[in-house]
Amino acid sequence: MKYTLNLGAKDFSSDSLVLVSAFEKTVEAKGKTKESKAIVNTHWSKELKTAFENIKTSADFTGSLDSTFTFHLENGTTILAYGLGEKKSMDFEALRNSAAKIYKSIASKHKEVAVQFDGFTLKNKAEESLNAMAEGLSLADYKFDRHFVKKSPAKLKEITFDSAAKKTGLKKLQKTLDDTLVVTESINVGRNFVNEAPNILRSTTYAKEVLADIKGTKGVKTKVLGKAELKKEKMGLFLSVNSGSGYEPQLVHLTYTPAKMTKKTKHIALVGKGLVFDTGGYSLKPSGSMVNMKFDMAGSATVYSAFRAVAKLGLNVKVTCILGMTDNAVNEFATMPDAIVKARNGLSVEILNTDAEGRLVLADCLDYACDQKPDAIIDSATLTGAVLVSLGNQVCGVMGTDQKLTDSLLKSAKNTDEYMWQLPIIKEFHEDMKSPVADLKNIGGSSFGGSSKAAAFLSNFVRDGIPWAHLDIAGIGDSQGHKAYCPTKGASGLIVRTLVDFLKNS
Ligand code: BES
Ligand code: ZN
Ligand code: ZN
């Protein structure tokens, strides 16, 4: 898709399709007690208003949220008037959703569209409005269709934002648009990884494709550790998850160093669970719960997308990104329940349930990340079904050891209109993760508070003095169709924007 910004616009940049907004106003009808609705289109040109009013049925269009009215100018231009509801109830998230709905309604019908952007500017904030609108459009412009013989690509190829604002503001607004598109492109790259089938995207192909995707990005260094290297690193927990697999484990280690490092430049480590498929291992998942476990790598895709965006934006923050990739499968070498395994940091773990594998991979990856001496570590994982029970399937759980770090993430989630809620790690949960025969066990004595207990387990692998936060995206990672800019089924790409905002402000 080509996106263009056209400031100082006197005319529409398309004579094919023009998108204009309309707001709704509730007015008291004369002589009656009942309220009626009226359209607010004071920002329309005289030509537009006349053409609109000349059509009798236009009187029924009130500009209510997501309603539309299409009419034509004399020169043949189609005008799509899009209702944004009452101006005071419209916020950036609503704009993001409306932009996604607009995309869906025109993508298969029109080649180009000129957006009359000033009518979509909320609260006089052009940058935020452009950001939200471009996010909604470009995140809706995503389809995982690579396996269809017959594809039906979108007709829409060009979106132009026309604004009467002075040309002097172009540089700033252009940067907003460009930066937004870097983030959404990175989100869509991550979505593709998650959506790819597990018989096609093995751990080894995943690692290769990540390296191919990031290749050539300024300031980025890459390294991949395979089975032999993980053995050398004594990553016993990670290896125990991989032991039932026909494919090598892969630890992808990426570093982005900004061009101008100073003493003030922060170093953040991102760690992601990259289970390309989770069968549960010997503690096999029932077949109904196993379907869709290709999505168990969404944590790694989330941190990779954020890393990619930050590196491509050239932000002034150093980022280490550690992706722990394997499948959790069963063969004669697979780890059995009751196994006792040694972690990289020396702690022994009794494995009572091989389906609680994500925490084992993450534990060794977290310890490895500590070696890089970051100022903070954030991990992201589809770690527990319990997070869906506690927070619902539309909220990301955050847990951690440092309230300041957790608060910063919660703030970034708010800034980007993503849902995140904190869960506690109390000392009783730590107690519950102790084993009678080893330092730790990989599941709690009861399944209550499962997300927090998993976090309590993970905290044992983060060295003292390094602030750490854990994001459980098992609920929010896929099937977020309640947001118009997310696919109904498949990877959502949510939480990437939160992480990018956090890293921007680090
Ligand atoms: N990958 C799953 C978590 C999951 C469940 C993600 C449902 C998305 C939807 C994880 O590896 C797992 O199986 N966790 C177990 C932990 C339990 C055995 C303590 C779970 O949540 O049931
Ligand atoms: Zn599992
Ligand atoms: Zn899993």
Q: What is the pLDDT of residues 231-249, one digit of tens each?
A: 999 999 999 999 999 999 9
How many C-alpha atoms does 32 have within 13 Å on its Cβ side? 6
- What pLDDT score was predicted for residue 28? 76
pLDDT value at position 33? 61
Tokens (6 digits) for 64? 């209510």
Nearest to 367 by CA among 451, 462, 248: 462
The answer to whether the beta carbons of residues 371 and 466 sit under 8 Å apart is no
Q: Do the Cβ atoms of 305 and 321 come closer than 8 Å?
A: no
Terminal CA-CA length for the chain: 31
Ligand nearest the Cα of residue 442 is 1
| 285, 434, 463, 504: the active-site residue | 285
Residues 131-158 as b or e (16 or more Cβ within 10 Å = b): bbbbbbbbbbbbbbeeeeeeeeebebeb
Report the range of poorest mean pLDDT among 18-32, 107-121, 373-387: 18-32
Overall average pLDDT of the 282-303 stretch: 98
Determine whether the shortest distance from the Cβ of 398 to ligand 1 is under 6 A: no
- Active-site option among 202, 227, 294, 359: 359
Say yes or no: CB of residue 327 within 6 Å of ligand 1: no
Token duo for residue 472: 């459980």
Distance 384 CA to ligand 2 centre (A): 8
Asked whether residue 38 carries a pLDDT value surpassing 90, the answer given is no
Q: Whose CA is nearest to atom 17 of ligand 1?
A: 356
Of the listed ligands, the closest to the CA of 474 is 1
Residue 34 has pLDDT above 80, yes or no: no
Mean pLDDT of 345-355: 98
285 catalytic residue (yes or no): yes
* Confidence bin at 32 (pLDDT 50/70/90): low
Comparing C-alpha atoms, which of 482, 505, 487 is closest to residue 418?
Answer: 482
Average per-residue pLDDT for the chain: 97
Q: What is the C-alpha to C-alpha distance for residues 232 and 221, in angstroms, rounded to an integer?
A: 21
Q: Is any atom of ligand 1 closer than 6 Å to the C-beta of 328?
A: no
Which of 117, 162, 115, 166 lies closest to 9, judged by CA? 162
Distance CA 372, CA 144 (A): 36
Spatial neighbors of 10 by CB under 8 A, at least 6 apart, are: 164
- How much distance in Å is there from the Cα of 45 to the middle of ligand 2? 59
pLDDT, residue 264, reads 95
Paired with 469 in beta bridges are 378, 400
Q: Which residue has the tokens 């702690």?
A: 347
Structure tokens at 492: 């959502």
170-195 vs 126-140: helix axis angle to the nearest 10? Answer: 30
What average pLDDT does range 279-298 have in this prediction? 98
